[in-house]
Amino acid sequence: MLFFRQEILWFFVQMLLSLQHVHSKQILHRDLKTQNILLDKKKKAVKVGDFGISKVLLSKSKAYTVRFLAARVTVADGEIINIH
């Protein structure tokens, strides 16, 4: 499915506004990826889905991203030693 530039910008703005709203409620999505962005071309609407691992912040502390590697990668002394 192809989209015009204006449609893409409209969807992008909606996505940002939805995340701004969620963050204003002190909620972190924590699994934002293309599979969790739902587009309705007919209604020209965006929905953010799958809040299964989201987190409600108890204070206005700063959020951060935890670095991790896939379960199939073995790391020792900070170096990848085996990829399964």
In the chain, count H helices and then E strands. Answer: 1, 6
> DSSP letter at 67?
P
Closest by Cα among 43, 34, 42 to 15:
34
Query: Degrees (nearest 5) of the Cα angle 17, 34, 65?
Result: 75
- Find the catalytic residue in 31, 40, 50, 77: 31
Does residue 50 have an active-site annotation?
no
Q: Give the residue numbers annotated as catalytic, written as ranges.
A: 31
